[in-house]
Each structure stands twice: as C-alpha cells, then as structure tokens.
Structure 1
Amino acid sequence: MQYNNLGRSGLKVSQLSYGAWVSFGNQLDVKEAKSLLQCCRDQGVNFFDNAEVYANGRAEEIMGQAIRELGWKRSDLVISTKIFWGGAGPNDKGLSRKHIIEGTKASLKRLDMDYVDLIYCHRPDSSTPIEETVRAMNYVIDKGYAFYWGTSEWSSQQITEAWSVAHRLDLIGPVVEQPEYNLLSRHKVESEYLPLYSNYGIGLTTWSPLASGVLTGKYNKGTIPPDSRFALDNYKNLASRSLVDDVLKKVNGLKPIADELGVTLPQLAIAWCAANPNVSSVITGATKEYQVEENMKAISVIPMLTAPVMEKIEAIVQSKPKRPEAYR
C-alpha cells in the first residue's frame, strides 16, 4: 500500500481507503464489520471514512465498537466523519456553529473516540455564512475534537471563499475535498477544482469509484442482483437514473481493456481514479472480505495505466470534461 499526503498537509492516508456508507448499519453489523475492517488493515488501509448521517448514526457506532473490540492502536488509524444531517430538528442539520459543535460531540460519542483525524462539512449550507462555518471548524480543531477539516461536494467558489475567510482571520482552511469521482463523473475533479490544487494545496478523498457498482459490470444484463446496493429500497431511484443503455454500453466497452490487462473491471476503475495525482485516497466500499481483497489489488493495476491504455479507456467512456480556457 502507498501512503499519500492529504493534499499539502502532513497527514498520510492510504491510497485506497474504506467507507462505511451504505454497508455499516444497513447491510452489516459489528461482527461482519470487524472482519471487513481487519481485512482492510491486513491490506495496509489506514483511513476509514464515516458520517453522522450514515444509517442515522448507527454506522459510527458500529465502526467505533468494531475498532474497540479489535484492539487497534488509535495512532495507526485515520478516522473521518462528516457533519451536516444530524436529525430532524431545525438545528440538527446544516453548518451552523451550534450544529457543527454539537454534531461533532455526538459523533465522537457514537464512535467512542476522543477525536477524529478529519472532519468534513458534508455539503455546503446556503443558510449559514461561510465565516461562521470556518470559525466553528477551527473551534473544533482548537478543542482537539479533530485535527484537520475539509469539505464534501462543495463548489470551487465556496472552497475559495472558505480559504479567503481563513486567510483574513488567520485561521485554518479546509485541506481536503471529498467529491464523487469515477469514469462517468469527472467535471469537478478534472476541471472545476483545478485552481484549488495549486492555490490552496487541496487534497481529494474521492467516493464512488465504481459509480455505485455500475462500473463492476454486474448490472449489464439488465437485472439487479438481490444482494446489490441497487436492490435496497433507498437506492431504487438511483438505479433507474444510472442503469441507462448508454452507460451500460460504455461499461461493456471497458471489459476488453480489463481483460487485456488481466484485471477485473472494478480493479481497472479504482486504479484509474487512484492514478490521478490530485487524488490523495480513493474511498472504496465492500460488504464481503473477498470484495475488499479484490478492490485492493487495484494498487498493482496503477502502473499498467500507461498513456496508450488511458487513451483506449477515454475512447470508450468519452467523458473527459473540457478544461476552462483560463487553466490550459
């Protein structure tokens, strides 16, 4: 496993990481979580991602209990959580100072940890001034509840504004953004965020490298396997939007490239994300140990992605965003 600096920070994160979204609390309980997390550690993973909203907080409880029972040394781990959707009350969501601080404390209680290494603003909050959010995140860091803070699915403009506030007030700005990034979703990472990498040293921990499983090829026969994500009630709308003929045709077109390299489609898709030098870590998901082991083999696929191979992939997916004139 390779360990990359999280953007310009000194924090080292495994090139591939594991996220609790969907799986913990929805498909897996503590016993299964322990075996999956141990499998990740055996593969060199040190970075584990969570959020207050995952399974309504149950995902944090499961991760915390599993890590406690496994007896791992806390300093060997990088644990992250995300704050935005904390409950039904008017102050239980968003990025107000009140919810950031109360939500962080609640997350730490569920995780049964004194701190998380990294805390994200899970979405932008148009009803809260960015200055209030930046100040609150710095309070969280000053109190030792988290060591670094970042954003998830913010726009380049919003991240720039957060950094402008941080510079003006001599505070810590966001060191990382967590966007969706895969062969079918590329605009933010490859176009919109370009000035952020050099201007602020923003790192990326990207999610959904397999486009919610679409890039595994398991949906290509037009059926949804009963144990898959799209079989869950919460994801049926996403399935109807994702499983369109044009997308499935592209996935079918990638299969011969993977076969030629002697790798699986998921390994090709994950390696492609990790090969982007602006990506600090690719967050993977899995519900079974063999899936973790297969996903982690993507590390050895990265050197195979030569320029000619990347051109072949591009010819199939044709999803490369146009770079803005100013960044060429």
Structure 2
Amino acid sequence: MEYRLLGNSGLTVSEIGYGNWLTHQQSVPCVRAALDAGVTLFHTAAAWAGGAAEEAMAEGLAGTPREDVVLSTGAFWPEGAGPNRRGLGRKHLFASVHGSLRRLRTDYVDLYHLLSFDYRTPLEETFLALSDLVRQGKIHYVGTAEWTADQIQRGATLAAEYRVPLVANQPHYSMLWRVPEAQVMPTCQRAGVGQLASVSLAQGVLTGKYADGHLPAGSRAAGAGFARGSIAPLLHSDLLARIEPLRGVAEHAGLSMAQLAIAWALQNHQVAAVLTGASHPDQVVENAKACGRELELDVLTQIDHLLGSFVQTDPRLTFMPPQYRNS
C-alpha cells in the first residue's frame, strides 16, 4: 500500500480507501481484508443502511488501534422521517454526529463529510456548528462531497473564518466522469483541499462486467429503484462496446480492468485516495493492487481514444439536479 497526504493537511491516507454501505454479514470480512491490505482510510455515512453500515464498520475495525485508521463518515441524506433529520442544519448535524459516534464506537471522527450541498440551510449555520464540533474534539477534519466550485469556495472562506479544517472533497471521478477537472479541482487546490475520488469504477461498468450487455444477478444493474436508475445511463450499447477493448489495455499494463480504472484516477496527483466499495474480500484485495502503479502515456492515450465522446467534462453537470435542491 502507498500513502498520500490529504490536501494541505498533515493527515495521511492510504491510496485505496474502503467505503462501506453494507451490513454486518457482507462487510465485516471486507473491512478486515482491507486492514490486511494496508488500507487505513475507511468511509461510511450515517444514513447508509439506516445506520447499520456504521455499526458494521465498527465491528470490522474492532481490535484495531484507533490511531491506526482514518475513520470517515458524514451527513446530509435523511436519517428518519422528521423534517430535522436531514440536511446540514445545526440541530441535525449535532444529532447525526453523536449517533455516528455511538454506532462507530469511537469518541471522534477523523474526517466528517458534508455529503451534498444544503440549499435550505445558511452555510454560516453549518460551519458554525462544525466549528463547535471541532472544538469539542468530536470531528478532526471536514470534507465536502459533490459540491460545485463556487460552493467549495464559499465553504473554504467560512472554514477559514470559523477555524474549521476543511481538507477534503469527495467527487465522482472516473475515466468516464471527468467533470471535476475543469473547475472543482483547481478551486480545491487553491484552498488546500484534496480529493477522495468516488465511483471510479463507474458503478462497475469500467470493470467490464456489463460489456456484453448481460446483467449479472445481484448486480446494481439487475436491481430496481435508485440503484438501477443511477447506472442505467451507463448501460448504453455504444458505450459498452467501447469498454470491452479496455480489457486489452489493462492486460498490456499488467492490471485487471478494475485496477486500471483505480490507477487511472490515482494518476491525478490532486487525488489523495480512491474510495472503493466491495461485496467480497477478494475484491478488496484486488483493488488494493492498483496503488503505486504509474500508467504510461500510451496507456492513457489509448483510454482517451477508446472512450472518446463518452467522456463527460461539462462542469455544469456538477450541480445537484433541481429535484434534490429542497431535499
């Protein structure tokens, strides 16, 4: 495993982070496999699996010295039916943080993510609440997730005013989704904020599992509701036809397709780590092998040529869809 500093902070994270949204039976072996592979960054969220994802993370990390792991969680999405059980208002942040600490069996969170921008709450209220939580020692560092460049700049200004250590941003970032490169990453670099890339496997599409159009049982694409809806735009037959030739590129580089996708994201030196999920320990082990791999220019060129116009770069796509602005 290789390690990088996160932004301009003194916090060191493993190049591969493990992100958990699953419950005990599935995730505990994955967490332990990640520890064995040298992973130190573990990310989850209060709303995932109704809090059970945090409990499972705690179970998997049980017995590991607390100072040896970087524990990350966050809030925004609904954690119940009440109107104050979502968003980034002071009342919800305090309740959510304390709930996370209880489920994670810890006194503090190393990195606390604001998992979406809250259009209903004054940003000053959010950062004042974070400042109080930082002073209380319950949060050490703060990050954003899927914020626009303007939102990050506003947040960085308030973070400096309220002495909140804003050091991370968690964008969707992959071979196919390069939207953050134009505006978000330059803004973050000026503010000393590092990137924790997520969805770098494009929800499994870049692993080649859907290249023949088949939807494996148990996969996200074979599911229903939000899971199926989020991946549906990536299942275009023309795009899938471009994905399969990447297998030869990966083999030439001595990598699996998943490792190629992760290594690609890590070529960007603003990326401190790639957050990956897994449903089986073997996936964790294989993903970890992508760290420390330098991709040659001809490999990067072939990737660009194969994916062509399917690569998304428009910075306007960073904005939250209007239907979620009052969530």
Question: TM-score of the superposition, structure 2-length normalised?
Answer: 0.91
One-letter amino acid matched to 1:119: Y
CA distance in 2, matches of 1:52, 1:268: 31
Matches within 5 A, 1:278-293: 278-293=270-285
Unpaired runs of at least 5, structure 1 = none
**Does the 8 Å CA contact 2:41/2:71 hold for their aligned counterparts?**
yes
**Does the 8 Å CA contact 1:7/1:175 hold for their aligned counterparts?**
yes
Whether 2:263 is the aligned partner of 1:271: answer: yes
Matches within 5 A, 1:130-149: 130-149=123-142
Matches within 5 A, 1:222-241: 222-234=213-225, 235-241=227-233
The Cα shift of 1:323 comes to 9.3
The Cα shift of 1:231 comes to 2.8
CA distance in 2, matches of 1:129, 1:247: 41
Task: Report what 1:65 is aligned to.
Answer: 59
Which SS does the other structure have where 2:166 is aligned?
A: coil
**Does the 8 Å CA contact 1:114/1:145 hold for their aligned counterparts?**
yes
Cα deviation code 1:21-42 (max 9, x no counterpart) = 3xx12xxx24x43321121111
The Cα shift of 1:173 comes to 4.8
Go from structure 1 to structure 2 and tell me whether the alpha carbon gap of 1:90 and 1:323 turns closer, same or farther (over 3 Å shift). closer
Task: Report what 1:207 is aligned to.
Answer: 198
CA distance in 1, matches of 2:165, 2:106: 24
**Does the 8 Å CA contact 1:123/1:154 hold for their aligned counterparts?**
yes
Task: Report what 2:121 is aligned to.
Answer: 128
Task: Report what 1:4 is aligned to.
Answer: 4
RMSD: 1.8
Whether 2:24 is the aligned partner of 1:34: answer: no
Cα deviation code 1:146-199 (max 9, x no counterpart) = 1001111111101101122233x35225211101111111111x1121432432
Task: Report what 2:299 is aligned to.
Answer: 309
**Does the 8 Å CA contact 2:146/2:172 hold for their aligned counterparts?**
yes
**Does the 8 Å CA contact 1:163/1:173 hold for their aligned counterparts?**
no
Q: Which has the higher contact order (CA 8 A, sep 6+)?
A: 2
Q: Quick check: 314-323 or 193-202, which moved more?
A: 314-323
Task: Report what 1:14 is aligned to.
Answer: 14
The Cα shift of 1:210 comes to 0.5
Matches within 5 A, 1:240-279: 240-279=232-271
One-letter amino acid matched to 1:308: D
Go from structure 1 to structure 2 and tell me whether the alpha carbon gap of 1:322 and 1:53 turns closer, same or farther (over 3 Å shift). closer
Q: Work out which of the residue numbers 175, 190, 208 in structure 2 matches 1:183.
A: 175
**Does the 8 Å CA contact 2:185/2:270 hold for their aligned counterparts?**
no
The Cα shift of 1:292 comes to 1.2
Task: Report what 1:52 is aligned to.
Answer: 46
Go from structure 1 to structure 2 and tell me whether the alpha carbon gap of 1:139 and 1:323 turns closer, same or farther (over 3 Å shift). closer
CA distance in 1, matches of 2:203, 2:185: 25
CA distance in 2, matches of 1:322, 1:185: 9
CA distance in 1, matches of 2:315, 2:136: 41
The Cα shift of 1:241 comes to 2.1
Unpaired runs of at least 5, structure 2 = 317-327
